[in-house]
Structure 1
Amino acid sequence: MAHVTGGKPENLETGLVLRILALALGMFAIGTDSFVVAGILPSVARDLDVSVSTSARLITAYALAYAILSPVIATFAARVPRKLLLLTGLGVFIAGNIGTGLSQTYEVAMAFRVVAALGGAIYTPTAAGAVVGLAPTEKRATALSILFGGLSAATALGTPIGTWISGYTDWRGTMYFVAAVGLAGVIAVLVSLRAVPAPPPVRLRQRLSPLTDVRIGLTLALVLVAYCGLFILYTYISQVFAPATGRDTTTLAWLLFAFGAAATVGNLAGGRLTDRFGNHIVINTAGIVAVAVFATTPWTNRHLATAVVAMSIWGVCGWAMLVPIQDRLVGARPAAAQLSISLVSSANYIGVSLAPVVGGFLLDHGVSAGRLGLPAAGIVAVGLVIGEIGYVLIRRDQARPHAAPVALSTDGRSSDAPANR
Structure 2
Amino acid sequence: MDFRVFILAISTITVGLVELIVGGILPIIADDLNISIGTAGQLISVYALVFAIAGPVLLSLTAKVERKKLYLITISVFFLGNIMTYFSPNFTFVMIARIITSMSGALAIVLSLTITARIVDAPSRAKALGYIVMGISSSLVLGVPLGILITNAFGWRSVFLGIAVLSIGSFILISIYLEKVPIGEAQPLSAQIKALGNKKIVFAHLATMFMLAGHYTIYAYFTPFLETNLHLNQYWISICYFLFGISAVGGGAFGGNLANWIGSKKSILIIIGAFALILFVLPYTTFSFPFFIVVMMIWGALSWSLAPPQQDYIIQSDPVSSDIHQSFNNSALQIGIAVGSGIGAVVLGKTDSVTSTATVGGFVVMIAFLCAVISLSIVSGKSKQVKETPVDTH
TM-score (normalised: structure 2)? 0.78
Q: Does 1:290 align with 2:273?
A: no
Letter in 2 for 1:391: V
Aligned to 1:230: 215
Alignment partner of 1:82 is 2:71: no
Q: Does 1:187 align with 2:205?
A: no
Residue in 2 aligned with 1:62? 47
Partners of 1:33 and 1:122 in 2: how far apart?
A: 14
Q: Distance in 2 between matches of 1:194 and 1:328?
A: 26
Quote the offset at 1:29 in angstroms.
0.6
1:348 is aligned to 333
Residues 269 and 372, structure 2, Cα contact 8 Å, conserved in 1: no
Gaps of 5+ in 1: 1-8, 398-403
For 1:324 and 1:131, locate their aligned partners in 2 and report how far apart those are by CA, in whole Å: 14
Measure, in 2, the Cα distance between the counterparts of 1:307 and 1:99.
43
Q: Distance in 2 between matches of 1:134 and 1:272?
A: 18
Native 8 Å contact 1:25 1:184 kept in 2: no
Aligned equivalents of 1:194 and 1:108: distance in 2? 36
Query: Is 1:207 the equivalent of 2:192?
Result: yes
Equivalent residue runs for 1:8-407 within 5 Å: 9=1, 12=2, 17=3, 19-50=4-35, 52-135=37-120, 140-141=125-126, 143-155=128-140, 159-235=144-220, 246-247=233-234, 254-273=239-258, 275-276=261-262, 278-293=267-282, 295=283, 311-326=296-311, 329=314, 340-355=325-340, 371-372=353-354, 374-375=356-357, 377-392=359-374, 394-395=376-377, 397=378, 404=379, 406-407=380-381
Contact persistence 2:218–2:361 (CA under 8 A): no
Q: Which runs of 5+ in 2 are unaligned?
A: none
Which deviates more from structure 2 when the two are superposed, residues 227-236 or residues 60-69? 227-236
Aligned partners of 1:227 and 1:380 also within 8 Å:
no
Query: Secondary structure, in 3 states, of the residue corresponding to 1:39?
Result: helix
Map Cα deviations across residues 9-31 of structure 1 (whole Å, 9 max, x no partner). 3xx4xxxx1x4433332211112
**Stretch of structure 1 that moved more, 92-101 or 155-164:** 155-164
1:72 to 1:367, Cα distance in 2 relative to 1, 3 A: same
Identity of aligned residues (%): 25
The alignment partner of 1:320 has SS state of coil
Classify 1:84/1:252 alpha carbon distance in 2 versus 1 (closer, same or farther; 3 Å): farther
Change (3 A) 1:23 1:51: same
Tell me the secondary structure at the aligned position of residue 202 of structure 1.
coil
After superposition, give the CA deviation of every residue in 1:380-413 in whole Å (9 maximum; x if it has no partner).
Answer: 5224225315514743x5xxxxxx4x44x5xxxx
8 Å CA contact 1:26–1:182 kept in 2: the answer is: yes
Pair 170,359 (structure 1): closer, same or farther in 2 beyond 3 Å: farther
1:187 CA drift (Å): 2.3
**What CA distance in whole angstroms lies between the structure 2 residues aligned with 1:105 and 1:362?**
35
CA distance in 2, matches of 1:141, 1:328: 9
Classify 1:204/1:376 alpha carbon distance in 2 versus 1 (closer, same or farther; 3 Å): farther
Distance 1:349 1:133 in 2: 24
